[in-house]
Amino acid sequence: MSARILDGVPLADAIRAEVGAEVQRHRAGGRAPGLAVVIVGENPASQVYVRAKGKACEEAGMHSETVRLPEAVTEAELLATVERLNRDPRIDGFLVQLPLPKHINGERVLNAVDPAKDVDGFHPVNVGKLSIGDPTALKPATPFGVQQMLIRSGIETRGANAVILGRSNIVGKPMASLLIQQGEGGDATVTICHSKSRDLPGICRTADILIVAIGRPEFVTADMVRPGATVIDVGINRVDDPSQPKGYRIVGDVAYGPVSEVAGAITPVPGGVGRMTIAMLLQNTLQAFEQAGGR
Ligand code: NDP
C-alpha cells in the first residue's frame, strides 16, 4: 500500500488566501494588521525563516517589520525592543526568533512579550489559555498548523489514538493540548513520548495518528507504524549529501520511503508541516488584530 500524501502547499496557500482576504477587508476599513519579527545575530537558518515570514506577511497585505539586532546585544536592549513593540500601535503581533544567544535569558524575554501580541503563543498566559480551552489563546504556529492539516485533510481526531513523539514547549506539549480539547480537531486520546519513554516502537504502533517532533533524522521506521495510520512529520534535519549542489539535503524525523509503504497518510519533508507554520503565524496575527478590536 502507498500512503496518501498530505501536501502542505495547497493547504497553506488556502489559509494564506483566507487571511489575505480578511486583511484586505480590514485595510479597506482603516488599517492592515501588522507583524514584527525580532532577530538577534546571524544564525543562517533563522535568517531564512525570518525572510520567509516577512515575505509571507507582505503577500498577505499585512504591515511587516523586521528588527535586526547584533549578536552582542544586551538583554536590557532586547527587552527595550520588546517593550517598544508592546506599545507600537501598528504592530498587532510580534515574535522574537529563537534560538537566542547564550548570554540572554530567553524565558525573561518571552515573558516580557504582551500576551495579546504573542503570535508565537509561547507566553505563559497563552500556554494556560490553550490548556483550559480558552478560544482567545494565541496557539503555537507549528502544532496549530498540524491540527489544521488534520482537519482540512478530513482525518478524524475524535476518539483516535494520537501518539506524539517529543515533549518540547514549542511542538510536543502544545500539540497535546490541542488534540485533547473538545471539538473539531480535538477529542483524541493522547500519549506523549520522550527520550525516557520505554518501548517507543510499541507505543507508536498503537497510534492512529503519529506526530513526530524529535529532531532525529529518519528515526521512525516502518516497523513502528501501524498499517493505515496517519504519520505527521514535524522534523526538519540537514543531512550531508555530497550528490546535492549544497552538499546536504533536508529530511524529516520519519524514514519517508519505507513508512509511506505502511502508513495510510503521510506528510512530506519539505513541503508538509513546515509550509503550514508560516500560514498559521499570519492567522495568529489576524486573530491578535481582531481581538484587540482592530485598533
Ligand atoms: P526539541 O529538541 O526541543 O525537543 C525534542 C524532543 O524530542 C524532546 O522532548 C526529546 O526528549 C525528544 N527526543 C529526542 N530524541 C528522542 C529519542 N531518541 N526518543 C524519544 N524522544 C526523543 O525539538 P523541537 O520540538 O524544537 O523540534 C523537533 C523537530 O521539529 C526538529 O527537527 C525541528 O527542526 C522541527 N521543527 C519544525 C518546525 C516546522 O515548522 N516544521 C517548527 C519547530 C520545530 P527529552 O525531552 O526527553 O529530551
Grid-cell match 495510520, residue found? 229
Q: How is domain 30-114 classified at the architecture level of CATH?
A: 3-Layer(aba) Sandwich (3.40)
Instruction: Give every CB contact of residue 293 below 8 A, 6+ residues apart in sequence.
Output: none
Residue nearest to atom 1 of ligand 1 (CA): 168
| pTM, rounded to two decimals | 0.97
Q: How far is the CA of 149 from the centre of ligand 1 (A)?
A: 19
- Cα angle value 101/121/282 (rounded, 5°): 100
Distance of alpha carbon 248 from alpha carbon 150, whole angstroms = 30
Helix residue ranges, H only, 30-117: 44-59, 75-87, 106-112
Class of 141-274 per CATH?
alpha beta
* pLDDT confidence of residue 1: 63
Residues with catalytic annotation?
A: 53, 97, 120
Tens-digit pLDDT profile for residues 149-178: 999 999 999 999 999 999 999 999 999 999
In our burial notation (b when 16+ CB lie closer than 10 A, e otherwise), range 199-213 reads ebeebbbebbbbbbb
Tens-digit pLDDT profile for residues 203-225: 999 999 999 999 999 999 999 99
Residues forming CATH 3.40.50.720 domain(s) in the chain:
141-274
* pLDDT confidence of residue 224: 98
Residue nearest to atom 31 of ligand 1 (CA): 215
Distance of alpha carbon 167 from alpha carbon 181, whole angstroms = 17
In our burial notation (b when 16+ CB lie closer than 10 A, e otherwise), range 127-159 reads bebbeeeeeebbbbbbbbbbbbbbeeeebebee
Residues forming CATH 3.40.50.10860 domain(s) in the chain:
30-114
Q: How far is the CA of 218 from the centre of ligand 1 (A)?
A: 13
**Helix (H), strand (E) at residue 248:** strand 248-251
Atom of ligand 1 nearest to the CA of 219: 18
* pLDDT confidence of residue 262: 98
* pLDDT confidence of residue 294: 72
- Cα angle value 287/291/292 (rounded, 5°): 120
CB atoms near residue 86 (< 10 Å): 15
Residues near ligand 1 with C-beta < 6 Å? 142, 165-168, 170-172, 193-196, 200, 213-216, 234-237, 253, 273-274, 277
Per-residue pLDDT tens digits of the chain, which is 295 residues long: 699 999 999 999 999 999 999 999 999 989 999 999 999 999 988 999 999 999 999 999 999 999 999 999 999 999 999 999 999 999 999 999 999 999 999 999 999 999 999 999 999 999 999 999 999 999 999 999 999 999 999 999 999 999 999 999 999 999 999 999 999 999 999 999 999 999 999 999 999 999 999 999 999 999 999 999 999 999 999 999 999 999 999 999 999 999 999 999 999 999 999 999 999 999 999 999 999 987 5
Mutate which of 236, 237, 277 to test ligand 1's pocket (most atoms within 8 Å of Cβ)? 236
Q: How far is the CA of 62 from the centre of ligand 1 (A)?
A: 31
* pLDDT confidence of residue 295: 57
Distance of alpha carbon 52 from alpha carbon 274, whole angstroms = 11
Q: Of 76, 71, 80, 67, whose CA–CA distance to 35 is shortest?
A: 67
